[in-house]
Amino acid sequence: MSNEPKHNLAKVIFFDLITVGRLPLIALMLIFATAMGVVFATHHTRQAVNEKDMALQERERLDNEWRNLLLEENALSEHSRVQAMAKQELDMKRPDASKEVVVSLK
């Protein structure tokens, strides 16, 4: 062990900043402000990336739902299904050839 007196580092730094002048204090404040700016920019960037990822997931979910609805629409609108429902539920039938009327546009 040495017989040197122990110094309080924070106290030494404070007295150095006061005695040397304003330039180191201004530089320290600028460094701190820049560091805080980097922290805020990084935070906002991460939030934006997170929102973008959530929007992409929602778009994918909606695309899947759209594809399923198209498949359901195609299945429900098949000609054979429509014709069977017309016969069963509405008692519809195909007209005889003698009752058909052909309309021609000229």
pLDDT tens string 71-91: 999 888 888 888 888 888 888
pLDDT the model gives residue 36:
98
Residue 87: name the closest of 79, 76, 97 by CA: 79
For the chain, domain boundaries: 9-91
Query: Which residue in the block uniquely carries the two structure tokens 């980097």?
Result: 38
The DSSP secondary-structure symbol of 98 reads G
Query: Which residue in the block uniquely carries the two structure tokens 């198209």?
Result: 70
pLDDT the model gives residue 94:
81
Please check the confidence at residue 106 and state whether its pLDDT lies above 80: no
pLDDT the model gives residue 7:
76
Give the three-class secondary structure for 15.
helix
Residues 40-72: tens digit of each pLDDT: 999 999 999 999 999 999 999 999 999 999 999
The separation between CA 82 and the C-alpha centre of its own chain, rounded to angstroms, equals 41
Average pLDDT over residues 14-20: 77
